[in-house]
Structure 1
Amino acid sequence: MRASITHVYGRDFGLGTQVWLEDPLFRGKYTGNPSLSTVVSSYMISLRRRKVRAGYVVTSARAIDEATIKAMFLFNEAFPAEVSRQQITRQWKEAHPEYWGGRNMRVMLQWLDLSAFLCLLRYDEALHLQWHHIHFEKLGDNKFRIRIELPFRKTHQNGGCAPFVLYNNPEKPWMCPIRAFAMWSQTCSQLSIPREGYVFRKRVGFDNFSANPEDAMTSEVFLECFRNNLLDVGIDPRPYGTHSFRRGGCQYLAMVLRWPIRNICTWGGWSENFNSGTIFKYLLSWTDAPLIDREDYMNPDRPAGEICHACGRSCSCA
């Protein structure tokens, strides 16, 4: 609310972002932005403390993790394709709420989830991807890569966004962006959806999509489908939101791929205006499920993790 008021006074009323102060030459006359006054600033600083004491807790969306993406991938891969080919009636949908979407919808969601997760995209940035933003490149020897070039982002309103370059991951098909993109591209060809305009399209019927290049999938539909997919694999969807992929991707790069913080900031677009609070609020939150149990932190007999395909190690002391 304060940000909105600051915007109105600063942009619409032309008062800028100067602090609200009394003019020393004219008593009773003030200059600057009223929402940036000392009184309002003091109120906002103490607001969180007073809300916590009153029983209100600020909760961030829980981060999605690789295990959840894998579970949804395996479920969607095993989903029967014949469900989409049968005649769908309202009575049938009411009797089978577990069939909230067909195979085509799940193929699109797999690419949407993975692109937002690996590229640390906000949900609106992922939903507004267009076909000309994605470049499929063949490197030879069955190696491919995808280059995603966004014209602008929230952190780069005037352009200058560095591209996201994604490669094969044959050891983990649920984390392979090449496979997910190829599956959705093939589905578009089968449904006669032109590869122009928005990549993620508005839903039409049970398991089809709009052929209009300007019909993008809305954030409300995406969130509903995402939470239904979580229910498919037995996960409570209430703690998750559209920001779960950005937070989860950040944690995946730090704790699974073991990227340095500097690389994560550069990849996510935080390198120019670095704010330690921005990056660490994605890495640490009480809403996220712990990776290991409390009693296993110092346990010398703690079971090893998955084997790294690059170095062959499975210990937790890398």
Structure 2
Amino acid sequence: MFLSNISVPFNPSSFSAEDEEKSFSSTDSLRSAMVWKFSRAPDIADRPWEQDAESFKGNPAKSSLVRDYLFSIRKQKVMPHDCDAVVDAVTPQVCYKLYWFANQPGRLDWRKFGQKDGYKEEWPAASAWKGTPKTRLQQEAMRTLGTALLSRPGELLSYRRKHLVFGFDGQVPYVEVLPLDYRKNDPNGTKGKPQRLYRRPEGQEFLCAVRALAFWLEAAPLEDGEDAFLFRKINVGTDTVTSEPLSYGKFLQTFQCTLAELNEDYAFYGVHSFRRTGCQILHVFFRWCLRKIADWGGWSDKDGFAVIFRYLLSENDDDWYPRELWLHPFAQVRLECNECGRACGCESY
């Protein structure tokens, strides 16, 4: 028996405001079921869903309301690392604390992990996180590389062995990072440019991605060919590195655990903080102009400078210098080195 004479009574009271909002996948499944059900009735299969007196007639799957609703929840379904949530930038002081904490004697000695005379973690947070040496090495490599390249989280986790070229420029070692095949503002991978990172001088080790990558690749060599992922999952119990790529959730968890060990409020930070941190360090610490930052970070010429300002200025970021001393006549916060951004030694605070 066909459903040619089907009609549905219109009763608004049957819908409750407390009904749980459906996700896109479940809603699309319901719509597919309606399409199959009403396709068996030739008279209404292609008939739009219309109201007639106190009832509705036609195919509900053809309703414009259903189509608009599916479109609205489809637009809201984004990856977690693509959200525009405002996060704090990691100041150079916090970067140095992260570097100092990870480089305590024996904490990165992955060769002695699990041995009787190996290093034993004594910090309270270690019982909950169990940060192994290779986990800390990978975290330092991700932090310094993401900050130096102004990478988005998804881009940082997509780097493989084929994207890295090691070499020497005279006596200075460098790592040249080739552009990815896909980026948010470059889907075809045709606009990207190589980014060459040099080893930072003494005193700037906490910002040196070349050193961090060297230590990480020494502990976890890329033995699976050119397509091997740079950052991979780690078995915490044995401190062994697998061939599977590191997930976004584990990436965020590791970063927040390292901040918690320093008694930093990790709720204000996210993995997108690396991109914000890199922009602010290049602009304030190394005195880069906005045009140079836009070219280095791969921003499109259609984005405009407002996008970069969003990374440089935020009410959530901490001031690099005490605000009450900005115009102090004896506080030498204005006389800074053009190379490193540090003030002279006669500052009075």
Q: What TM-score, normalized by structure 2, do the two folds share?
A: 0.65
2:156 alignment partner, one of 115, 123, 126: 126
Segment of structure 1 superposing worse, 129-138 or 293-302: 293-302
Equivalent residue number for residue 176 of structure 1: 208
Cα distance, 1:70–1:312 mapped onto 2, change above 3 Å: closer
| 1:223–1:241 contact (8 Å) kept in structure 2 | yes
| 1:211-230 alignment runs, 5 A limit | 211-212=242-243, 215-230=244-259
Equivalent residue number for residue 268 of structure 1: 297
Of structures 1 and 2, the one with the larger relative CO (CA 8 A, separation 6+) is 1
Please give the alpha-carbon distance, in whole angstroms, between the structure 2 residues aligned to 1:132 and 1:179.
19
| 1:112–1:126 contact (8 Å) kept in structure 2 | yes
Equivalent residue number for residue 233 of structure 2: 202
| 1:105–1:207 contact (8 Å) kept in structure 2 | no
Shift in Å at residue 205 of structure 1?
3.0
Please give the alpha-carbon distance, in whole angstroms, between the structure 2 residues aligned to 1:280 and 1:140.
36
Please give the alpha-carbon distance, in whole angstroms, between the structure 2 residues aligned to 1:86 and 1:99.
20
1:164 aligns with 2:195: yes
Please give the alpha-carbon distance, in whole angstroms, between the structure 2 residues aligned to 1:231 and 1:218.
20
Please give the alpha-carbon distance, in whole angstroms, between the structure 1 residues aligned to 2:169 and 2:281.
26
Please give the alpha-carbon distance, in whole angstroms, between the structure 2 residues aligned to 1:177 and 1:305.
29
Count of aligned pairs: 258
Summarize deviations over 1:107-143 as a string: whole Å, max 9, x none: 11111111111111001110111011011111232x1
User: Which residue identity lines up with residue 161 of structure 2 in the other structure?
Assistant: W
Q: What TM-score, normalized by structure 1, do the two folds share?
A: 0.71
Shift in Å at residue 294 of structure 1?
2.2
User: Which residue identity lines up with residue 97 of structure 1 in the other structure?
Assistant: S
Cα distance, 1:253–1:312 mapped onto 2, change above 3 Å: closer
Summarize deviations over 1:7-62 as a string: whole Å, max 9, x none: x9xxxxxxxxxxxxxxxxxxxxx9xx979xxxx9xxxxxxxxxxxxxxxxx96110
Segment of structure 1 superposing worse, 168-177 or 235-244: 168-177
Segment of structure 1 superposing worse, 75-84 or 147-156: 75-84
| 1:111–1:177 contact (8 Å) kept in structure 2 | yes
Cα distance, 1:292–1:309 mapped onto 2, change above 3 Å: closer
Please give the alpha-carbon distance, in whole angstroms, between the structure 2 residues aligned to 1:276 and 1:311.
24
Please give the alpha-carbon distance, in whole angstroms, between the structure 2 residues aligned to 1:148 and 1:285.
29
Cα distance, 1:126–1:311 mapped onto 2, change above 3 Å: closer
What RMSD over aligned residues (CA atoms) do the two structures have, in Å? 3.4
**Percentage identity across paired residues of the two chains:** 28
Shift in Å at residue 261 of structure 1?
0.5
Please give the alpha-carbon distance, in whole angstroms, between the structure 1 residues aligned to 2:321 and 2:341.
21
User: Which residue identity lines up with residue 177 of structure 1 in the other structure?
Assistant: A
User: Which residue identity lines up with residue 159 of structure 1 in the other structure?
Assistant: G
Equivalent residue number for residue 115 of structure 1: 145
Equivalent residue number for residue 35 of structure 2: none
Unaligned runs of 5+ in 1: 9-29, 41-57
| 2:157–2:231 contact (8 Å) kept in structure 1 | yes
Summarize deviations over 1:236-257 as a string: whole Å, max 9, x none: 1110011100111111111111
Summarize deviations over 1:157-206 as a string: whole Å, max 9, x none: 111211111111122111112111111111114xx854641000012233
Q: Secondary structure at the match of 2:197?
A: strand
Q: Computing the radius of gyration over CA atoms, which structure comes out larger, 1 or 2? A: 2
| 1:55-204 alignment runs, 5 A limit | 60-78=86-104, 79-80=106-107, 81=109, 84-86=113-115, 96-97=126-127, 100-141=130-171, 143-149=172-178, 150-160=180-190, 161-171=192-202, 172-189=204-221, 194=224, 196=226, 197-204=228-235
Please give the alpha-carbon distance, in whole angstroms, between the structure 2 residues aligned to 1:66 and 1:148.
23
Shift in Å at residue 100 of structure 1?
2.3
Equivalent residue number for residue 18 of structure 1: none
| 1:262–1:271 contact (8 Å) kept in structure 2 | no
